[in-house]
Structure formats: structure tokens, C-alpha cells
Chain A
Amino acid sequence: MLFSNCYRFPKTIVLGLIILGLGFYSYKAGPETEITYQDCLEEPEMCRDKEIAVLYAPIISQDEENLTLKGCQGPIFAKRTGEQISSKYVSVKGTFKNSSIIPTEIKTHPYRYLKYLVSLIPVILVGVAFCKEFKFNFQKKVFKNA
């Protein structure tokens, strides 16, 4: 019954709607502990001394004291700690004070671009293998063995 052609179209629509619904549920009811930098800028008093984390933020500039990162609707300011950061992306975990993050931890992502590039290979390989094995029947709107 589950895999039969019976009510195939309505079953597909219902499944799609359930997945979308679960996505919106996650969007609305996601972890409350997640305070974004944008939240902090909107309500600085509420967010003072709260712990926040910014993930995979691209670096705009850095000097001996500060890091300026790209973030949601405007730059993010963080105090730089440790050595020069030789990476395009960083993740910063720290506390929010005076419109900037005082980091407790900075994680660099030196191989991000390489990772993206390398990830294209299997997408192409799987795509080619899939097209070799299956072909789409437009009349029945199904994939069948090639």
C-alpha cells in the first residue's frame, strides 16, 4: 500500500506538506538558547553578558585588537585573541558587551573553499551514474530503468 501507485499524487503532496510543516516548526520552535548577534544589537540591554556564537562568519578586516566580520544585516565586531588568523571564515563564541563579542573561543575554517570544491565531485559522479541507470518517463512522470 505504502509503495503502490494507489493515490500516488496525493501521497506525494501530503508528504511534501508534512516536510514543509516540520521545517516551519523547526524555524519557529528551534532552540531558545540561540541568541544571534542581530538580537543583541536590537536589544543590547537584554543581551548584555549573554553568551552568543556566530558561525562561519567571513572576515572583513582584522587588526591587532579587533576582528570585523560579516553577519546578519551589518558587521559583527569581536575582540581578536591569539595569533593572526589566516582564514576567510571564523566562528566566534563569546559574551556580548558594548556592541561587540568578547570571545572565549575562535575557530578558524581554513579549508572551507577547498571543501566546497571537493564536494562538487561526488555531486557530478552521482548525477552521471543516476542518469545512466534511470531515465524519466514524462508520460507516467516516473523514473524507470534506462
Chain B
Amino acid sequence: MPDLLTHYLTAKIITGKSATKAISPFFLGTILPDVLSRIPSIVIINLFEKYDCHLGRFLAIFHSPLVLILICLLIAYFFEENLRKGVFKLLILGTALHLVLDMLQKTFTSHSGYLWFFPFSFKSFNIPLFWPDQSLYFIPILLIVLIFIWWFKPDEEMIRKR
């Protein structure tokens, strides 16, 4: 995974300055796959000081599109009926952005990638551009782009007033 800050900043750049209201489910979607899979594994590794080789197989499903759609639907059920559809769409868009970024990274072994076609196939597919740890190098660049956008792009209220 690229780190969560890279995911978050990319989402922030895409939404731009105008998106400030009721869009937090989109940002939740961009961090959701890692919150569900990586955080539990990191906690377990650090608590018990061992890497559970089999746990990874269970948690891997949280990076497969079909399971993520089901999870987004599950989360949407915890919202009011009139908000539900919108929240579901935002969550789906966020998780899709997450998966696209994850697809661009290298994996150490052929079976440690992401399960794109789960449960029909366990085959993974990547466009290997960078190692997971190298995502940290992108943070300063993304921050500069974000500051540039916030500085120069007029917000929606100003456009409406004009």
C-alpha cells in the first residue's frame, strides 16, 4: 500500500477546494481498505511480535473490488435513508481511487498482490511503478500541488456570487 497520507492527499487534490461539504464518506473510502486490512495486521504484528502468515489471506479480501462494494453497502446501511445512496456512491468512488493507486505499486512476490477478481480467481495484477515504502517521496510533491490548488482555485461561493 502507499501510505494513507498519499491516498488522502490524492483524494484532496481530486476533490479540490470546492468540495468541503458532506464529502467525508469519499475520504473515508480512500482510506477504508487499509483501515480494514493493514491496521489490524500491524496491530497484531506489534502486539504478538510475529507475522501471522495465514491472517494475511483473510485480510486480503479487503482489497478486492467485490468485497469492498459489499462493505460500502454495509456502511451505507448505517446512514439515514435519504443519505444512503449518496454515501454509498462516495464510498465506492473513494475505494476505487484507493485501488487504482495500490495497483501502481510493486509487490515482492507474485501472490502478495491484490485480489482483483476474488472470489472467482486469486490471480493478482499490478502496474509496478514504485515500491510501497517509496510512496513517502510523493508526499511533499502532493502537498505542493494541494497548496497550489487551494491558493489559486476560486471556491464555489465566489463563483456563485459572480
Q: How far is the CA of A19 from the CA of B8 in the complex (A)?
A: 25
Say whether B119 contacts A26, CB under 8 Å. yes
Measured CA separation A130–B23 after assembly (Å) = 9
Indicate whether A107 sits within 8 Å of B61 (C-beta atoms), given known contacts A3-B85, A118-B4: no
B76 CB contact (under 8 Å) in A3, A23, A24, A123: A3
Q: How far is the CB of A69 from chain B (nearest CB, A)?
A: 9
Q: Chain B contacts of A38 at CB under 8 A? A: 53
Q: Beyond A27-B57, A123-B4, is A15–B70 a contact (Cβ under 8 Å)?
A: yes
Interface centre among A26, A107, A116, A133 (most CB of B within 10 A): A26
Instruction: Say if the beta carbon of A139 comes within 8 Å of chain B.
Output: no
Say which residue of A118, A125, A145 sits within 8 Å of B136 (CB atoms): A118
| Residues on the A chain within 8 Å of B84, using CB | 3
Inter-chain contact B24/A26, CB cutoff 8 Å = no
Q: Which of B70, B80, B109, B135 contacts A19 (CB 8 A)?
A: B70
B133 pairs with A72, CB closer than 8 A: no
Partner of A57, one of B3, B31, B51, B76: B51
Is A82 interfacial (CB-CB < 8 Å)? no
Report how far A73 CA is from B135 CA in the complex, Å: 31
Closest 5 CB pairs of A and B: A122-B8, A119-B4, A30-B57, A36-B53, A129-B24
A residues within 8 Å of B by Cβ?
Answer: 2-5, 8, 11-12, 15-16, 18-19, 22-27, 29-31, 33-34, 36-38, 53-58, 70-73, 91, 93, 105, 107, 109-112, 114-116, 118-123, 125-126, 129-130, 132-134, 137, 140-145
